[in-house]
Structure 1
């Protein structure tokens, strides 16, 4: 994967999350403290955005920064995506022991070994 591929993928994911939240580039820029043209450059893969700026964008989008690097390959409904984000949020609030317990429960539910 080339550097440009990485920039394009992250930019596309930011655009996807921004649209899911119903934000314009201007609204996201304002919420994150950036000019809207900078958001557009990131979304088009034209800027090698700094990690701290990615954290600010994730915060403005109200998602964990890891969500900026996850490609949505599934054709889930908005409700399913919201459920997944809620589960992720809940897990991020727990201590490591509870996260491990939840992982084991999910493995059992899906018969995943």
Structure 2
């Protein structure tokens, strides 16, 4: 599976454990099977948005907070294309002055 599934699953597991809940309890509160919770936490299940919302509601967190990772991305194998895409997303949000700085830094790597 892709790194995002592992990262979101890890975040769900972290929050569940902080609350002292079992997978069974979270599954019950979210209205899904505990085995589904386990496969989501391991990054084996491509979770739907509806189930993500159910789990977030059960954990009493906002859905977007499940995408705030405390784990280092380098722990997961990320393809060159994924890294480039991630960098592009960051660059798009930068102001022109900051883009000039980034360009200057990247030019240093060419030498």
TM-score under structure 1 normalisation? Answer: 0.60
What does residue range 19-98 of structure 1 map to in structure 2 within 5 Å? Answer: 19-72=17-70
Give me the whole-angstrom Cα distance separating, in 2, the residues matched to 1:72 and 1:17.
11
**Distance in 1 (alpha carbons) for counterparts of 2:20 and 2:62:** 18
Distance 2:20 2:57 in 1: 15
* CA shift digits 1:47-105 (9 cap, x unpaired): 000011100000000011111110126xxxxxxxxxxxxxxxxxxxxxxxxxxxxxxxx
Q: TM-score, normalised by structure 2?
A: 0.61
Residue of structure 1 equivalent to 2:87? none
Count of residues in Structure 1 that have an aligned counterpart in Structure 2: 71
Runs of 4+ in structure 1 deviating by more than 4 angstroms, as ranges, are: none
Relative contact order, higher structure (CA 8 A, sep 6+): 2
Rg comparison, structure with higher value:
2
Q: Give distance in 2, aligned partners of 1:5 and 1:72.
A: 14
Unmatched tracts of structure 1, length 5 or more: 74-113
